[in-house]
Amino acid sequence: MTSIKDIAQIAGVAVGTVSRVINNSGPVKLETRRKVEEVIRRMNYVPNEVARNFKMQKSKMVALLLPSIWHPFFSELAYYIEDELDQSGFKLMLCNSGGKPEKELYYLDMLRQNKVAGIVGITYNDIEKNVGPEIPMVSIDRRFDRKITCVTSDNFEGGRIALQELVKAGVQRPVFIGAVAAMSSETMNRKAGFVHEAQRLGVDGSVFERPDPIMDEEAYFDEFFRIHPEADGVFAINDMFAAKYIDRAVKLGLKVPEDVKVIGYDGIQSHTYFHPVLSTIRQPVEAMARTAVQLLFRKMNGEGLPRETYRLPVIFRRGETT
């Protein structure tokens, strides 16, 4: 049977080089890699990876649980998480778990079976009773009652900034609009920061919320415009919500930003080709992704982390709606 030494000899490289090619565990020139690949192919050499895993009992795979990759915020996040994992030789397993709690539980199984080394997750289901603090899992946005490390943007500060920016733009009766999820989540702090800052500045702010998910958006906004005809500024819980609000407002004859100023949250627009370009609280998506992966690596190494929740700073990005 062909051995790794045979491959090295035929390719005219060191055994270590062949090993690096096979394991992708260090720098190999593209040309050298191709040469080694070519010999491996010609000789039908198959390093028994599965057997090797058996010996090492280690997975180089991290699972990413997202409600849906088909959303600009999540796909940007996934992009940077994959990039950060790749730099340490880890692979990303992707799971759209939206509305399917059994998929999230399945990945916890995989973790217990060493099929994945860790999980980064934005989960909206109640899986916390299945997860202990020792589990190498990092949550994004959703805080799990202190058991799972959470990386999030500074939602409270984002809410404060949004209120400040609306006031700076001349708004006198700002309203926060959103939906209340059944599960506690860091994103609720957006409203809290908004309310706190309105009180601090003595501004006449309001909150309009209905239970999540909002099944009938038309009814939601009809009710909003009935209850808050006075609103001259809106802070929406996220950009998509802001866009939906603007769509309705414009249909009712309101002008944005002349009649009503609008600020969203996320920063999903990565260019300015489609309008309106939203004024928004921009989440530091790349930093959140890389931080989540680095914290996960530390948990995988058995390190205790000094904190439970890591809040990264946000910025206000002015668009066309304030």
What pairing do the DSSP bridges indicate for beta strands 315-317 and 279-282?
antiparallel
Member of 65, 95, 166, 236 binding its own copies (CB under 8 A)? 95
- Identity of the residue numbered 139: S
Of the pair 92, 198, the CB lying nearest its own copies is at 92
Using CB under 8 A as the binding rule, whether residue 87 contacts its own copies is answered as: no
Name the minimum Å distance from CB 76 to its own copies. Answer: 5
Contact of 154 with 314, CB cutoff 8 Å: yes
Of the pair 37, 222, the CB lying nearest its own copies is at 37
Segment interacting with its own copies (CB under 8 A) among 12-20, 31-39, 222-230, 309-317: 31-39
Using CB under 8 A as the binding rule, whether residue 92 contacts its own copies is answered as: yes
Specify the DSSP class assigned to residue 48.
Answer: -
Of 314, 315, 316, the C-alpha closest to 154 is 314
Using CB under 8 A as the binding rule, whether residue 140 contacts its own copies is answered as: no
Of the pair 61, 254, the CB lying nearest its own copies is at 61
Sites for its own copies among residues 144-163 (CB under 8 A): none
Q: Across-strand partners of 91?
A: 61
Contacts of 120 (CB under 8 A, 6+ apart): 62, 63, 64, 65, 81, 137, 138, 139, 140, 292, 293, 296
Of the pair 49, 303, the CB lying nearest its own copies is at 49
Sites for its own copies among residues 217-256 (CB under 8 A): 240, 243-244, 246-247
Q: How many beta carbons lie within 10 A of that of residue 255, not counting itself? A: 9
Using CB under 8 A as the binding rule, whether residue 106 contacts its own copies is answered as: yes
- What is the crossing angle of helices 239-251 and 217-227, to 10°? 70
| CA–CA distance, 301 with 287 (Å, rounded to integer) | 21
Using CB under 8 A as the binding rule, whether residue 2 contacts its own copies is answered as: no
Of the pair 2, 96, the CB lying nearest its own copies is at 96
Using CB under 8 A as the binding rule, whether residue 4 contacts its own copies is answered as: no
Torsion angles phi and psi, residue 90, rounded to 5 = -95, 150
Sign of the Cα torsion 122, 126, 127, 132 reads positive
Using CB under 8 A as the binding rule, whether residue 75 contacts its own copies is answered as: yes
Q: Where on the chain is the footprint of its own copies (CB under 8 A)?
A: 21-22, 24, 30, 33-34, 37, 40-41, 46-51, 53-54, 57, 61, 64, 68-72, 74-76, 78-79, 82-83, 86, 91-96, 101-103, 105-106, 109-110, 112-115, 130, 240, 243-244, 246-247, 269-276
